[in-house]
Amino acid sequence: MSSSVAIVRTGVANTASMVAGLRRVGADPQLCEDAETVRTAPYVVLPGVGTFGAGIASLKRMGVDEALKERIQSGLPTLAVCVGHQLLFQQSEESPEAEGLNIIEGSIQGFPPEVTCPQLGWNLVTAPKGARIFESGYAYFANSFRALHADPDWKMATADHGGEFIAGLERGAVVTAQFHPELSGPWGLSFFTRWLEVGRGRSS
């Protein structure tokens, strides 16, 4: 039986590749934009392409920001990708006037001037010790901003571009990815599969 995955329709993400990737691993992805679905869906994906400010404004406009916070704090299976990953933090240099979801303490910062920005292409993700969803391997990134620190209760995967940064975070069935698993070939598909498996006993 396929796993039902609600993808939050943020309006700032190209969701077609996300839908296609999840279907390849046997999931049943559907777009959503209402708080009740975000609260109760077996699995939820928060995608993100665009700016931090536009992303958080879209979540608030739909009224799903508080539902996402409740869901993640409850440990229900949730995947936040790219700007979606960044939105879990408190703020970002990209949109200083915007307040993030404030689930993870810390801010999103730009890359140092000596490296190519945005970072576009493949980079090595190093999995944290004891991770169930992350495995080390190459993922596809498309980002101009990144997080450097997170709360210690998250397992932290890392990558390096002008210094080490957070490639993703894992806490139970909640996982974030600065990279794009849907564009990361077989490695990305296996990442989806492990997330679905870990979340199987935690979905509401």
Residues with active-site annotation: 82, 180, 182
State the CB neighbour count (10 A cutoff) for residue 25: 18
CB 161 within 8 Å of CB 122: no
Question: What is the C-alpha to C-alpha distance for residues 81 and 6, in angstroms, rounded to an integer?
Answer: 14
Question: What is the C-alpha to C-alpha distance for residues 199 and 29, in angstroms, rounded to an integer?
Answer: 15
Q: Rg of the chain over CA atoms, in angstroms? A: 15
> Given phi > 0 = left and psi -120 to 50 = alpha, else beta, which region is 59?
alpha
